[in-house]
Structure 1
Amino acid sequence: MWEKLLDQSSNGFTAGRSLLLRAGLIFLVPLVRFYFHLRVTGKGHLPADKTPVLFAMNHQSYLDPALVSSAFPSRIRRNIWFIAKDKYFNSRFRRWFAKVCQVMLISQNMRLRQAIPTMAGILKQGRHLAIFPEGTRTRTGTPGEFKKTFAIIAAATGCPVIPVVIQGAFESAKAGKKIPRRVPVTITILPPIPTQGLDPATIAAKVENTIRQTVENGDKVK
């Protein structure tokens, strides 16, 4: 069923960015790295070629797209699009911030059958797709229940999933906090998980377990 639905993904969404937004990202990346003492581990797990990858990560704050973008090398950063609900980007600044970080805003009223072809279209264009499977920011610092949307896309496309763990962003900018504290943030890039021949439930379970174990075993951020 989902394979047929993904066949509907078209070029209706074009991944691209203006020179002004590129300049904004050039300014933002060093600022984020400095302010949050950004530490990155596992860069060797990133794709060396242009093969599209689906990144799945825990969701700690509204800063997550900027933190992850800043953690990636430019060859990944300029080809990755994040997915987020538009209700969290309800101001002019936040919408500009979303554009700079290449965040595609999805209406919370959009049905799954509408959203999946749009997201799959990014992969069809040879770009990387980044999804927060929890669907919302954590309220406790612990990852919430993972939704299977990302796994449906991965199973139907055969695209590998790279789990990414964000630690420290919750302490810096938990839900409801507008100005982030200067807290060290660590981004951990984990080994890719092959998806060909696996069903969505299996993929989702593998990714969720991997991320949860890494969060539980990670250093506590003070």
Structure 2
Amino acid sequence: MDSAGSGSFLRNRRFDNFFNTSSEPHVKEPPKVPVKQVEHRPPRTNKECVDSDDDDGGWFCVLISWVRIVTCFVTMMVTTFIWALIMVLLLPWPYKRIRQGNVYGHITGRLLMWILGNPIKIEGTEFSNERAIYISNHASPIDIFLIMWLTPTGTVGIAKKEIIWYPLFGQLYVLAKHIRIDRSNPSAAIKSMKEAARAVVENKLSLIIFPEGTRSKNGRLLPFKKGFIHLALQSRLPIVPMVLTGTHRAWRNGSLHVRPTPITVKYLPPISTTDWTANKVDDYMTMLRDIYVKNLPEPQKPLVQEGTITGSNS
């Protein structure tokens, strides 16, 4: 068998030479250079979009993110337009507008979070329907959606006066009788806070405010401002801290890439303010900020022990 196979192999070689009619001497072919294999990576999975630390995470993650953001924008414009018409009809009843604004927030905030697709865990819901001053850390645009959705009906918000320039949403914010303050004018800000406290007491409302006064750029807790302490002293409402974790990774500062990162919202037990006194504002500020430092994960704690108080009253 072996000799037959060898003979066949030699005949095939002679057969090939017979058809080689070139008069050129036979030139040995150069060795083939191996072609570098290009790895074709499949589109990233949802988990890889969560775990990637780069800003884009690959074209698949970016595409999904943009679809979600555009869908959120369109949804928000539609619901805002509908509730703006409702608010116009309710112009003679200002505090009915506040409650209707909360209904808008519950529906719109829940829709937006559903579109973004982040897994959400909510803890301490037994404290979520208190009549209180709700405070929250702020590190992402997603925080706004969560606050809209999760604060109880009859809650008034406090934001910077420039919010009125946000298309449709800013105008609805004003129509809903929420409060705007001028952070560049401390005396005007104090006046707005006093008016807010009076309205809250007279109309049995709750408040929601970000005690840091602005959004953290890296997710770490910022120093608190004094405004909400003065509101508590004037209204004597309990304070319910809301601790948000994971939102800074889900939608990072300055990025248009939204990751499906898991998010936790934790309501802490109400803190009574009935026996608070004006000469201990700094002590209350430190105590509340320490509660956040204790309950936040390591990547969201302050890197250094920053001062807990700023000069602004807002």
RMSD: 3.3
Moved more, 195-204 or 210-219: 210-219
**Secondary structure, counterpart of 1:70 in structure 2:** helix
Q: Which residue of 1 aligns with 2:120?
A: 38
Structure 1 residues 90-121: Cα deviation after superposition (integer angstroms, max 9, x where no partner): 33044257469985332333433222113213
Unaligned runs of 5+ in 2: 1-93, 302-314
Structure 1 residues 152-205: Cα deviation after superposition (integer angstroms, max 9, x where no partner): 221233211111111122122333335644333211100111112223223222
Aligned residues: 201
Using CA pairs below 8 Å that are at least 6 residues apart, which structure has the higher relative contact order? 1
Provide the rounded CA distance (Å) in 2 between the counterparts of 1:170 and 1:102. 29
- Answer yes or no: is the 8 Å Cα contact 1:133–1:150 preserved in 2: yes
| Shift in alpha-carbon separation, 1:87–1:179, aligned structure 2, 3 A | farther
Q: Which residue of 2 aligns with 1:185?
A: 263
Q: Which residue of 2 aligns with 1:83?
A: 158
Provide the rounded CA distance (Å) in 1 between the counterparts of 2:231 and 2:99. 30
Report which of the two structures shows the higher radius of gyration computed on alpha carbons: 2
- Answer yes or no: is the 8 Å Cα contact 2:102–2:155 preserved in 1: no
1:108-187 correspondence to structure 2 within 5 Å: 108-111=183-186, 112-124=189-201, 125-178=203-256, 180-187=258-265
TM-score w.r.t. structure 1 length?
Answer: 0.74
| Shift in alpha-carbon separation, 1:128–1:19, aligned structure 2, 3 A | closer
Percent identity of paired positions between Structure 1 and Structure 2: 20
Tell whether 2:148 aligns with 1:69: yes
**Secondary structure, counterpart of 2:234 in structure 1:** helix
| Shift in alpha-carbon separation, 1:107–1:179, aligned structure 2, 3 A | farther
Provide the rounded CA distance (Å) in 2 between the counterparts of 1:172 and 1:148. 29
Q: Which residue of 2 aligns with 1:4?
A: none
Provide the rounded CA distance (Å) in 2 between the counterparts of 1:63 and 1:89. 19
Moved more, 124-133 or 171-180: 171-180
Unaligned runs of 5+ in 1: 1-13
| Shift in alpha-carbon separation, 1:155–1:209, aligned structure 2, 3 A | same
TM-score w.r.t. structure 2 length?
Answer: 0.55
Report the Cα offset of residue 42 of structure 1.
Answer: 0.4
